[in-house]
Chains A and B, each alone.
Chain A
Amino acid sequence: MPNTTSFDTVRTSVSRAKGLPNAHYIDPAVYDEERHALLFNQWAGLAVASEIPEPGDAIPSTFLGVPVLLLRDKYDKVRVFQNTCRHRGMILIEHATKIAGAIRCPYHSWCYRTDGRLMSTPHVGGPGQNTHKDINRSELGLIEIRSHIWRDVVWINMNGNAPAFEYAMRDAITRWSEFDQPLYHGGSDSQFKLEVNCNWKLAVENYCESYHLPWIHPGLNSYSRLEDHYNIENYGSHSGQGTLVYRQLFGEHGEKFQDFENLSEKWNASAEYLSIYPNVLLGTHRDHAFAIILIPEGPEKTVENIHLFYSTKDTNEALRKKNTDQWKDIFKEDIFVVEGMQLGRHGIAFDGGKFSPAMDGPTHCFHDWAASQIETQRGMENAAE
């Protein structure tokens, strides 16, 4: 591991701190270190449960190089497995599919139930003999990755070492407890993907602060001025921003989305946007919500998967599309910024940057968390040596 970067200037007050060093955005060795410290050791977002609505639905993907299989088992439980046969390490499922019965490895046809249990090992004891005294099926089920669903996001703890999800995320869960009610994905017109040439952390950082809004999203200025926003800084788990002047979207004939139930008066005009560390960006409003799941694909490449949700199953299609388009335009406006910051981090004299103590608190909060997690991992590695 690199152990080369120092956090002395990062883990201090926002008025004195610098941002994370350049290496944390461009160096493959540091990227690999962060892969474990910031993503595998945490509850990271993988996908949304709505992508696999029915038992048997299965979607394979690669998460930071690890082949994973997201599926809904026959008992309707969402599970995440390593997409790897316990026999010869073959990839089990290559494309999104509906599993009718068992998961059959395409190599030697070992079969697994959708809950991961190994159920058949054909010819393992010789032709036509499907048992062997040294093959203990109960020990050879699929390797399950710890997972949890909150706000429809499937969160995974790859290394299995994070505190319980409800504990790790308790502050954010409490903050938005009023929204702890059913979310309905808007469907195929309410999801889109953006590919950006930047380190995933820059997307987190840009999302969590409101300082950039007047310049990058000038369309918001007419009703949502900078002074209408407030910072959210929860050291150790999340940061973000809120607005006091959320304005609902209306259709041509005055249609609007139905509100979530029993919200307090505060939410009539407020909305909040949280970067949940490490890689999930959430937004909530009285009448809709969204989740952006950042999938790192290298030190300088990130895929953003965006999903929009509503309080009811049935929503007005035209209004839903209008809402999707509105958010897509806003998120696209951010691309040149995160890509520009990525390029800027190749400037060898850049020192991590000077924060505005008044406006950059949420970003500093994220850097402090990242540095603390990396320090913890380095400490454990040093202790093990």
Chain B
Amino acid sequence: MPLSDQDLEDQIIRAHEINNIWLLAKLYADAAERGLDQDHNFFLATQAYVYALQSNHPLKSKLHAFLKSHGREE
């Protein structure tokens, strides 16, 4: 069963509390895919991208491509 928006937000907060960078990349990327507000999605994708860069998460390439294609990243 997919997580509710509230559950996802709670997980992000918990991941911040335990400083789990790898998980933060995944959770923010999940959040960026489900938002209805495109500007907010870019915000979330940026959060995911930064944590993916730091943790060398495989999502970093996909996130970079997404942001770059929308003129949000070099």
Assess the B56–A127 pair: CB atoms within 8 A. no
A100-B56 contact in complex given A109-B50, A130-B67, C-beta closer than 8 Å: yes
Assess the B54–A104 pair: CB atoms within 8 A. yes
In the complex, what residues of B have CB within 8 A of residue A131's CB?
A: 71-74
Most chain A CB neighbours (cut-off 10 Å) among B47, B53, B72: B53
Within 8 A of A (CB), among B34-74: 39-43, 45-47, 49-57, 60, 67, 71-74
A101-B53 contact in complex given A120-B73, A130-B67, C-beta closer than 8 Å: yes
In the complex, what residues of B have CB within 8 A of residue A123's CB?
A: 43, 46
Assess the A120–B49 pair: CB atoms within 8 A. yes
Interface residues of A, count at CB 8 A: 17
A119-B53 contact in complex given A128-B39, A128-B40, A129-B42, C-beta closer than 8 Å: yes
Most chain A CB neighbours (cut-off 10 Å) among B41, B50, B67: B50
Which of the residues B39, B46, B57, B71 comes within 8 Å of A122, measured between beta carbons? B46
Interface residues of B, count at CB 8 A: 23
Assess the A128–B50 pair: CB atoms within 8 A. no
- The complex places the Cα of A6 from the Cα of B71 at a distance, in Å, of 63
Assess the B50–A122 pair: CB atoms within 8 A. yes
Assess the A101–B60 pair: CB atoms within 8 A. yes
Interface 1/0s, chain B 11-50, versus A by CB < 8 A?
0000000000000000000000000000111110111011
In the complex, what residues of A have CB within 8 A of residue B46's CB?
A: 122-123, 128, 130
Q: Kindly state whether residue A137 has any CB partner on chain B within 8 Å.
A: yes
The residue on A at minimum CB distance from B51 is: A104
In the complex, what residues of A have CB within 8 A of residue B49's CB?
A: 120, 122, 130
Q: Kindly state whether residue A14 has any CB partner on chain B within 8 Å.
A: no
Assess the B72–A137 pair: CB atoms within 8 A. no
Tell me the smallest distance from the CB of B56 to a CB of chain A, in Å.
3
Tell me the smallest distance from the CB of A320 to a CB of chain B, in Å.
35
A101-B74 contact in complex given A127-B39, A128-B42, A128-B45, C-beta closer than 8 Å: no
